Amino acid sequence: MIWDILTFIGTIAFALSGAIVALEEDYDLMGVYILGLVTAFGGGAIRNLLIGLPVSALWEQGSFFSIAVIVISIAFILPTILFNHWVKFNLLFDAIGLSAFAIQGALYATEMGHPLSAIIVAAALTGAGGGLVRDVLAGRKPLLLQKEIYIGWAMLTGVIIGFDILSGAIGLTILFISVIILRMLSVHLRWQLPRRKINRLKQGQEKSLS
């Protein structure tokens, strides 16, 4: 039951997120469907490849594909006024999808008996993989590679589940809500990971130094 609920929530959230990004980039109908579906199921496909499951296992989620298609269709036909309000919540949709799928990925790896390192990777890729593929296809700088703390929350989810700090319906619900809140706070309060930029010397400067 927990598994299905997380998949349901994550599928809707990421399908909406992908569709909104596609509409912002002025994609046609097919582009909106492709980006929405890739965002909803891309992370799971990457996870399956890395933890030893066949990618074809995704096709067993027929009902979730139908849900994603319905959600994307609704997003596409929404009146402009309503859609503009939905766009404001795109960050929230993305945070919900990140949290739901990170927990799902960690539980998946745990049930397969994988070590902590694999649980963390499964959580990170399931939670952030779909968003990564979405941003690449949309020609945007991927969120997980920017200064915002994004994939870090998914990895933290893997650590918490790997060490069995929170478990059961209540514990996972607390974790789910906490990751969403942390993701939103990291954006609004501009929490950043350490970064360093190397400025390459221009051709004229290289000659003068030589």
pLDDT one-digit tens code per residue, 21-80:
888 888 999 999 999 999 888 887 877 777 767 666 667 777 888 999 999 998 888 776
d(CA 43, CA 128): 6
Over 70: is that where the pLDDT of 85 sits? no
d(CA 161, CA 171): 10
Under 8 Å between Cβ of 52 and 71: no
Query: Which sign, positive or negative, has the C-alpha torsion 100, 129, 82, 34?
Result: negative
Neighbour count for residue 203 (Cβ, 10 Å): 8
Neighbour count for residue 184 (Cβ, 10 Å): 15
Place 208 in a pLDDT band, splitting at 50, 70 and 90.
low
- The pair phi, psi for residue 138, each rounded to 5°, is -85, 0
- pLDDT tens digits, residue range 106-136? 998 898 888 999 999 989 888 888 888 888 8
Predicted TM-score (pTM) of the model is 0.79
Angle in degrees, 0-180, between the axes of helices 168-188 and 90-111, rounded to the nearest 10:
140
Domain boundaries, the chain: 2-194
Radius of gyration of the chain from Cα atoms? 19
Residue 11 tokens read as: 């599928």
